[in-house]
Each structure stands twice: as C-alpha cells, then as structure tokens.
Amino acid sequence: MSGTKLQHCTIERDSDGIAWVTLDVQGEAANSLSTEVLKELEAALDELDSGDRPKGIVFQSGKSGFIAGANVQELGAIENATEADALIERGQRVMDRIEAMTAPTVALIRGFCLGGGLELALACRYRVADRDPSTRLGLPEVRLGIHPGFGGTVRLPDLIGAPAALDLMLSGRTLEGRAAQRMGLVDFALSPWQLVDATRDLIRRDPGRHRPKWWQRLAGTLPGRYALKPIMQRQVKQSARAEHYPAPYAMLDLWVRHGGESAPSRIKAERTSLTRLIDGPTAGNLIRVFLLQDRLKREARSSDVVVPNRVHVIGAGTMGGDIAAWLALNGCRVTLFDEHDKAVASTLKRARSLFQKRLKRPERVTAALDRLTPDPRNRGVEGADIIIEAIVENLDAKQGLFRSLEPRMREDAILATNTSSLPLEQLAEGLQQPGRLIGLHFFNPVAKMPLVEIVAGEHSDATNLDRGQALIASADKLPLRVKSAPGFLVNRVLMPYMIRAAELYAKGTQRESLDEAAKRFGMPMGPLELADAVGLDVCVAAVDVMAEPLGLEVPASMRSMVDNGTLGRKSGRGFYVYDNKGKPDRGRISLEPAELDRLGQDLIKPLLDEAERTRDEGIVADGDLVDAGTIFGTGFAPFTGGPLHYREQHSGQRG
C-alpha cells in the first residue's frame, strides 16, 4: 500500500484502488470530532479529490471504537452563538463533502459509533458494522441538551424513515449492529473476519444507498408530519418537560417545519436550531454533567490496581441480591450467601429477569447466570477478592459478622459494607486489620441508579479503596469517593429535603402539591413519593443516625406512621395509598403554578444548604463532585448542572 500520514489520520491506497482512511486521534483514548480533527478530515478529502481518484473510500478507526462524537470538552468551552455556528458549519461541510464523493464510500464500524461519528457514517453511501455487542450506534445528543448538527436530523430519516429515526434521536438510545441492520441503518452486521471482504464487495458492486419502505416515507409528507408530531410529543413529555429540556421539542419542530424541504435547506435549518440550543443554558449545564460523569470514570481508571473479580455477597435481600446480580451481569464471578434459601431463590428469579432484559440473547443470559452461584454454606469467603456485606442495618449485627469473617478471609481480600449511614470507624472496631474495611454504598434500585459511594473510613487502606473504586467502574457504575460521616454525601443532602416535605405535609400542605412543586423544579420524583418508594422506616432510621450531628428531626406524624406499620409502597400505604399494581391514589393539585414554584424553592433550599456544608466539610474532594454525587445519586435536576452550580448561577454565590 502507498499512503499519507497526517497527525490524526492516515490515507492508504491498496492495489485495488481503494483508499482506506484510518482515524486515530493522537493523545486520546477515543476518536472525537474536534475542530482540529475536522480540519484534518478536510485535508484528507482534498487529497482524495486530487490526482488519481480512488475507486472506493473506506473510513475506519485505529482505536477500539469508531468515533465517540463531537469533542464534548470543546462544546463545553463554546462561549457564544458565533463560535457554535462556526463549529457546526465546519462539521456539516465535511459531511456534505463525504456524501458528494463520486467513488463509493463505506464506514467500517467497530465499537461505538455515536453522535458525530454516526453522522459521518450516515454521510457515507454504505455502512458495515461488527456484530459484536460492544458495537453500538446512536445519536445521543439529546442527553447533552442538543440535537444532531452535522446533518444527522436530515440523513437518518432519509435512510430509515422518520418514525424510527425520531425514536432514536428523541430517546438517545443506541443499537447493536444486528438491530441496526434490521432497521436499515447499516447494510451489513457481520463477524470481525467478514468486515473487510464485505466492504470490498460493496465498493465493487455499488448497489446504491438504502431507502426506507414506501410506508415509512409517508411520515415525511406534510400530513404525515403533522399526524406524527403529537404522538412523538406525548412520548417526550413523559420524560422531559419543555421548559427544562428544550432539545427534543426543537428537534420535533425542526422536522415538522422543514421536513418537506430540500436536503440543503433542512441542513441549514438544523444548523440554526442547534446554534440556538448550544447558546442556551440547558445545553451548557448538561454538557457540564457529562464532563462530571467522565471525571468519575477517569478517576476510577487512574489507579494501577488489580480489579477484584471474585466477589462474595452476604445478604440476599433486595439490596444484596441485586448487587450480586448486577456484578454478575457485568462479568464478575459472584457467590451469594443468605441464611434464608427463599431469599436466594428470589434473587435468582430477579437476576434472570434482569439478564434477559439487558442481554437479550439466550447464550449471554446463560453465561451471566453461570457467574452467579448460590452458596448455602458460605464457602465463598475463603476464595473471594472482595466480600460485600448487605445484611440488616444494625451495628452489632455487622460487627459480629465481620469478626467471624476476618479469620477466614485471604490476607489481601477486601471487606466492604453496603451500609447507608453507619460510620465505618465503628464498624471496624474489633477487626485485626481495620484497613481492609471500605464502604460500597449502592442505591436502590441497583440496576437503575448509576452512582455508588466509595466510603473511606479513618483506617481504610488507600489501595483497597482504589480496588473498590475500580470494581465499581468495571461494573458500569459511577464511583464517588466520600468520607465516612453521617449520611455520607447522598443521604445527607437528600434527607433534609424529604424531611422539609414531611414537615409541610404535617402542617397541612397538600401532598400532590408538594410532589408537583418538586417536579416543576426538575426533580424526577416528588419527595413524598420518594419517601414512600424508599420506605418510611428506612428514612426514619437514616435521619435518626444523622439527627444529632446534622440537627435533623423526624416529624412526630411521620414517626407515628412508621410505628403503626405505614411504611410506604412496600406496605401498601404511606403518604399515598397504593393499589395492587403499586399505583398511588393521587388527587388534583390545589395550588396555582406560581404558588407551586415558590413551594419548590422552599423544598429545595435545605438540600442546597446541606450541599454547601458537605463541600465545606470536605465530604468529597470539591464542589464539582458534590454536584456530581447529588445528580447521579438523587436525580437532582440535571439541567441545572447540580445544586452548587444552580445556587451559584441564581444567587452569585461561589465555592
């Protein structure tokens, strides 16, 4: 092969006259389309357009993934609409040039192909993807408060039809290669050794770009667009309010208003719409949240430690069982012990359901189930890299268990507790090696909550903390280092907010108004709904632990509910009464919007105050991590950028 080497990509021409453009962004773990990389792609296209024209052009990656999308760091640094417009214009120009190449163009996709990466693939005439599950394709820009801007809102509907395209773009979900082939998004999803031959064959045959079926094209007509819009809008409203997350609504509006125009006109409208979104507050805050998430992942990868793989879980209740299932799902060898066989059987049933939902294919489900082993004699203790305790939240019970486990554990094994509130210093009393004890605080439901607090006690060994953090990151969770203190971070900022709601309810404020006020602010669930979901007994116990150091007090009416067995959703009655399907008996909201907004501010103030105190006390390393933990651990309104960021933006306070 003859070729040209640029900084971030190479061009090699083979004996068949095919040009292979390999993108390998220097100094980065993944390819992204920064301004610098886009300029280099333009230079590569200039070369391909000059001299001997290639018979075909293949775009591929020199890394494990194809292209992760636009460079999010660069997006976050954009200061005004002019800068945003310039970046979008350049990206669109590159994609337009790829689409206009006379030679057949193929995107050869291995690994993730997201955002701008998929938009580059869409600009190609053909797409060939690895069928391995690690290959994922999608346009997840909506999660950054924006929509596709390098021609994706135009080319994807033209390729697979508007209904499927809008579903992908509005949800931000990703597809495996085989699902993408069924949809028409890729021409072939094949085994790794077949990819190059299939690519060459497409170039040789050049059969023409895929087109959606006639009935899929009907949605692009004027009547079709106006008929589909309210259906899609109702779906969006279930998960995103327009005042908080404008991007999906802007995307729908873009399609309805301009869907019948020429491709150049639609791409121009896409650019105008995206520039407006990038220049707004939501995109900036959601990009900030993305970068905070990336920081948590990077910090977990920064330590050079051996990741624990053999895990022994003690306690097969809801939390312990779901922790065991999640770790097995993500590749760990897990043994599970509980004194009650029924609890283990229940875990295995839930685990099978989780594996079937996540893994789809029977062979992968079977492999995950094989990694989760019931251990009725508790023999997994001796061989485990890490033992995770998830028994009753009782100091004496946990201390007694730890004393019985330590003599049986390997010298280098870690002992981890899933306690939600007990200080590790007390739990470690009586251990011969207190440094082996760390906290791994998962949140319920385990499969949905992305954050895990890595709790450092006074004596916790730094290497053990690093290994625990690495385990959590390898299990597709976000690990957050926190200091052992009452409530750690998440429960500490959450409980004052929930207690404030309970106080207002006790004084006569309507429960539906309290919950709606929180959701209008941007919380995913109202505080009384949340208390019912967590369990009122669990909330009261957590507040009791934090009562003295934080000055919290459970309202007498709430404590009385617990004493009478009114525990929330699990007992069928809490602040709400629940039917057999778990649906609450909600009534009509009594307050006007302006009153709800004032009530929302009243509810959220204790959370903001506590977030500031956790920063000042060094519960986590800095204020950004307070924001990250609160967003990913409580669901605090992501579009605000986090509680401290929100307060700074709205009151000028800095930390």
pLDDT digits (tens, 9 = 90+) for 36-57: 999 999 999 999 998 788 999 9
Task: Determine the distance from the C-alpha atom of residue 374 to the mean position of all C-alpha atoms in its chain, rounded to a whole number.
Answer: 30
Which strand ranges, in their side-by-side order, compose the sheet holding 113-114?
A: 113-114, 136-138, 174-176
Per-residue pLDDT, 653: 44
Residue 549: other Cβ atoms inside 10 A: 11
Of 115, 94, 84, 142, give the one whose Cα is nearest residue 271. 84
Q: What pLDDT shows up at residue 550?
A: 81
Q: Is a pLDDT exceeding 90 seen at residue 217?
A: no
Average pLDDT over residues 246-261: 95
The single-letter code of the amino acid at 386 is I
Banded pLDDT at 16 (limits 50, 70, 90): very high
Residue of 441, 460, 484, 516 marked catalytic: 441
Residue 460 appears among annotated catalytic residues? no
What are 515-539's pLDDT values in tens digits? Answer: 999 999 999 999 999 999 989 998 9
Element (H, E) at 59: strand 56-61
Alpha-carbon distance of 162 to 155, in angstroms, equals 10
pLDDT in tens, 475-498: 999 999 999 998 999 999 999 999
**How far apart are alpha carbons 457 and 638 in whole angstroms?**
29
Answer yes or no: is pLDDT of 637 > 70.
yes
* CA end-to-end span of the chain: 57
Q: What is the mean pLDDT of the segment spanning 150-172?
A: 96
**What average pLDDT does this structure show over 219-235?**
90
pLDDT tens digit sequence for 378-406: 999 999 999 999 999 889 999 999 999 99
Q: Summarize the confidence of residues 290-302 as an average pLDDT.
A: 93
The closest alpha carbon to 101, from 42, 48, 158, belongs to: 48
- The sheet with strand 437-441 has its strands ordered as 372-374, 333-337, 310-314, 386-389, 414-417, 437-441, 451-456, 478-483
Active site residue 61: no
CATH number listed for the domain at residues 2-279: 3.90.226.10
Q: Report the pLDDT value the prediction gives residue 216, as an integer from 0 to 100.
A: 85
How far is residue 102's CA from residue 97's CA, in Å, rounded to a whole number?
10
Minimal CA–CA distance to 233: which of 252, 220, 214, 258?
A: 252
d(CA 424, CA 131): 46
| Tokens found for residue 458 | 């006074």
Strand pairing partners for 70?
Answer: 33
- The answer to whether residues 307 and 468 touch, using CB atoms and an 8 Å cutoff, is no
Query: What is the distance of C-alpha 137 from the center of its chain?
Result: 16
Strand partners, 577: 573
The span from the CA of 563 to the CA of 565, in Å, is: 6
The pLDDT value given to residue 642: 98
Indicate the pTM of the whole model. Answer: 0.93
Q: Determine if the peptide bond prior to 192 is cis (ω within 30°).
A: no
Task: Tokens for 440, please give them.
Answer: 């791994």
Handedness of CA 255, 261, 263, 266 (dihedral sign): negative
Is-catalytic flag, 420?
yes
- For domain 306-483, the CATH superfamily is NAD(P)-binding Rossmann-like Domain (3.40.50.720)
Distances (CA, A) of 346 to 208, 325, 334: 53, 11, 16
**Residue of 464, 491, 512, 513 marked catalytic:** 491
pLDDT, position 219: 85
Q: Provide the greatest CA pair distance for the chain.
A: 85
User: pLDDT per residue over 613-629, tens digit each?
Assistant: 999 999 999 999 999 99
Residue-averaged pLDDT of the chain: 95
CATH code for the domain defined by 490-651: 1.10.1040.50
Q: How many residues are given for the chain? A: 655
Concerning whether 491 is annotated as a catalytic residue, the answer is yes
Share of the chain above pLDDT 70, in %: 99
Please provide residue 546's backbone torsions phi and psi, each rounded to the nearest 5 degrees.
-95, -5
List 420, 421, 460, 464, catalytic entry: 420
The pLDDT tens digits of the residues spanning 557-601 come to: 999 999 999 999 999 999 999 999 889 999 999 999 999 999 999
Q: How far is CA 207 from CA 128, 195, 275, 315, 398, in A?
A: 14, 17, 36, 59, 67
Which residues fall within 8 angstroms of residue 557, CB to CB, at 6 or more apart?
502, 505, 506
| Secondary structure of 202-266 in HEC code, one letter for each residue | HHHHCCCCCCCCHHHHHHHCHHHHHHHHHHHHHHHHCCCCCCCCCHHHHHHHHHHHHCCCCHHHH
Q: Residue 418: its pLDDT value, please?
A: 96
pLDDT at site 652: 52
- Kindly indicate the confidence band of residue 651, based on its pLDDT and cuts at 50, 70 and 90: confident
Q: Quick one: which of 593, 599, 585 has its CA closest to 500? A: 599
Q: What is the DSSP letter of 124?
A: S
364-376 pLDDT tens trace: 999 999 999 999 9
Structure tokens at 333: 């060898």
Instruction: Write down the domain spans for the chain.
Output: 2-279, 306-483, 490-651
3-class SS of residue 337: strand
Mean per-residue pLDDT, 72-91: 95
Catalytic hit among 453, 512, 516, 529: 453
DSSP state at residue 606: H
Q: 382 to each of 186, 377, 378, how far by Cα in Å?
A: 49, 12, 9
